[in-house]
Amino acid sequence: MKSVLLAAVAMTALTAFAHAADATSFALIPKGMDNPYFDLSRDGCMAEAKKIGVTCIYKGPATHEPATEVQIMQDFITQGVAGIAVSVADADSVTGVIKQARDAGIPVITFDADAPNSKRQAYVGTDNKEMGRELARQLIKVHPQPSTFATQSGGPAAENLNERLAGLYEVLKAAGWTEVKGSPAFCNDDAALAAQQLTDFATANPDIGAIIPVGGWALFAPKAYKGYVDANMDKVKAGKFPLVMPDTLPVELQLLKDGYAQVLVGQRPFEMGEKAMDILMKLKKGETVQPVNIAGLDVVTKDNVDKFLKP
């Protein structure tokens, strides 16, 4: 009887192991778990993974830290996940670990932020240069007269943010705008620091025409961001200090509705998470995928904000 029980236990263990080995798990790695923007990519990943019968593992650095992102990728390679999608904090730092994953037979794609010179197989995300251009176009629409401006980015090595800066500069400088000293500032995706940097720009340049970040970090610290806007509200109401900001997360939409932004140019992070799962599944099956997969942009103003605020 004892031997029969042992055999049954062994068979159960083998069956459980087989099921675990058959499970398909894809990793979605954000630049930082503290950035609410990536929560939407996580939600899209989870929803699509459930739909196609796989597991989405969402894990990244606690905060923006390229070295930790590389280590997390290495851990996933060791665990033998079926595929990896990563939002790249530093394009140079991930080149080697992406090659490691590919050499181990693990498909790798990038989402949100690319590493185009690596061995990644596809990118899904925003046309970032076009996003920078659109931010500039919307700024000029609100403030047609050329003036001085400052901008803000996250990390200086982030490919997606550098492309946005390039698009922003292309349009603003062609229209006669002039960048102030100290711009761009880099907040390393830290919301509190981002809000403080905007305040510092406005204090150091009281006649500045606009401060236009290429990421929505400051709005994720709404109390500090409101303080920055309130200090400049007279100029905002006079049409001399436009508030054109990136992204359309719920907190940002509410700030716009409350008068703390005039235009939001938003990405589609939920869609990125969805598409990441679909692309990794195709790669796992050996299918061909498009190397570049663009998610669109949304322009939100007071006229259509309620539509975007609907649950």
Question: Hey, where are the domains in the chain?
Answer: 2-126+269-295, 128-266
Q: Are the folds of 2-126+269-295 and 128-266 the same?
A: yes
pLDDT, average across residues 99-105:
98
Q: Mind listing the pLDDT tens digit for each residue in 17-30?
A: 333 334 799 999 99
Average pLDDT, the chain: 92
- Tokens, residue 220: 């994720």
Question: Which CATH entry fits the domain spanning 2-126+269-295: 3.40.50.2300, 3.40.50.880, 3.90.1150.10, 3.30.930.10?
Answer: 3.40.50.2300
Strands 185-186, 152-153: parallel, antiparallel or unpaired by DSSP?
parallel
What's the confidence (pLDDT) of residue 310?
Answer: 81
What's the confidence (pLDDT) of residue 1?
Answer: 41
What's the confidence (pLDDT) of residue 9?
Answer: 37
Domain spanning 128-266: which superfamily?
A: Response regulator (3.40.50.2300)
What's the confidence (pLDDT) of residue 21?
Answer: 36
Check residues 62 and 20 and name the one with the higher pLDDT. 62
Contact present, 150 and 183 (Cβ < 8 Å): yes
For the chain, the DSSP string reads -HHHHHHHHHHHHHHHHHHHHH--EEEEE-S-TT-THHHHHHHHHHHHHHHHT-EEEE---SSS-HHHHHHHHHHHHHHT-SEEEE--S-HHHHHHHHHHHHHTT--EEEESS--TTSS---EEE--HHHHHHHHHHHHHHH--S--EEE-EES-TT-HHHHHHHHHHHHHHHHTT-EEPTTPSEE-TT-HHHHHHHHHHHHHH-TT-SEE--SS-GGGGSHHHHHHHHHHTHHHHHTTSS--EEE---HHHHHHHHTTS-SEEEE--HHHHHHHHHHHHHHHHTT----SEEE---EEE-TTTHHHHH--
Q: Mind listing the pLDDT tens digit for each residue in 209-264?
A: 999 999 999 999 999 999 999 999 999 999 999 999 999 999 999 999 999 999 99
What's the confidence (pLDDT) of residue 268?
Answer: 96
What's the confidence (pLDDT) of residue 23?
Answer: 75
Q: Mind listing the pLDDT tens digit for each residue in 116-160?
A: 999 999 999 999 999 999 999 999 999 999 999 999 999 998 989
173 burial level (CB within 10 Å; 0-12, 13-18, 19+): middle
Contact present, 92 and 113 (Cβ < 8 Å): no
7 pLDDT more than 90: no
